[in-house]
Amino acid sequence: MRQSLPPVVLVLAGHDPTGGAGLVADSEAIAACGGWAATIPTALTVQNCHNVTRIVPVDPNGMRQMAEALSDMQIAAIKLGLLADEPTLRAAEQIIRRFPGVPVVADPVLKAGGGAELSTAVLHKLYVDRLLPLVDILTPNRFELAALTPDIAAPYDDTARAVALLSQGCQAILVTATDDPVPGNEQQVVHTLHSPDTTRQWQWPRLPELFHGSGCTLASAIAARLAVGERLPIACEQAQHFTWECLSQGYQPPSGQCLPNRLPRTVRF
């Protein structure tokens, strides 16, 4: 008697040829955290471990057809990554609406680790208006949190920004502060979960290197843990633990940012 497929996480994300980030990274993180990834590419990219140099959004009709073809897999969670233009963002919205009640984890990928802008102010607004009401947990870093709340001026009031996004219909927000340390606490990375009824913080020892794909890893791990049935705060904690382990055991490529080590390279011969 064959074992049934692990809980399926539907991933809508960009493709990164390096394997550090994007849908390949998502698939690795989801597998390592007990799920099975079904992936719909939203954009192809040209990049290396330094920066992104080109983004080509995928045909939104193709995205919809892929989702239609996957309808015989039972989707247990959805993970959203890069959405680089309006047609693919709208296709993502339509695809999410095919799966009512399925938890949605959204990582608002707005800028590459190397600094390249991957989005626009118009797209940020569309993201907030169209997608946020469908999102169970958003995982912005502090730069992305600020970009999604341009009407709030205070530079460090993350709570006010999170409350503003929660009021748009998003159920919870995990703000990561890897990119931008909270003043006075530079040795730790502080991640804060905001939801209507609670705020919770975790601290992790800051690693000295820059990494390529840490945000994808975290969001996909949360989606996988929700897919297997964990409750949100536990899923967030497990995913942070997993991500920190991947980074602390990460690899140094010949040049550029370090790459997460999401899979035990245990050869089964």
CA-based torsion, 143, 48, 260, 184: positive or negative: negative
Q: Which of residues 232-261 bind its own copies (CB under 8 A)?
A: 238, 241-242, 245, 249-256, 258-259
Q: Two tokens at 182?
A: 């909270």
Biggest alpha carbon distance in the chain? 59
Inter-residue contact 174 to 189 (CB < 8 Å): no
From 28-36, 122-130, 153-161, 164-172, give the range in contact with its own copies by CB under 8 A.
28-36
Cβ closest to its own copies, residue 85 vs residue 144: 85
Cβ closest to its own copies, residue 127 vs residue 211: 211
* Distance from C-alpha of 46 to C-alpha of 201, rounded to nearest angstrom: 36
Among 14, 21, 27, 134, binds its own copies (CB under 8 A): 27
* Distance from C-alpha of 224 to C-alpha of 28, rounded to nearest angstrom: 11
Which among 2, 47, 4, 7 is positioned nearest to 225, based on CA atoms? 7
Cβ closest to its own copies, residue 49 vs residue 78: 49
- Per CB under 8 A, does 13 bind its own copies? no
231: how many CB neighbours lie within 10 A of its CB? 9
- Per CB under 8 A, does 38 bind its own copies? yes
* Binding stretches for its own copies (CB under 8 A): 2-6, 15, 17-19, 23-24, 27-28, 31-41, 44, 46-50, 53-54, 56, 58-59, 62, 65-66, 68-70, 72-74, 209, 238, 241-242, 245, 249-256, 258-259, 263-269
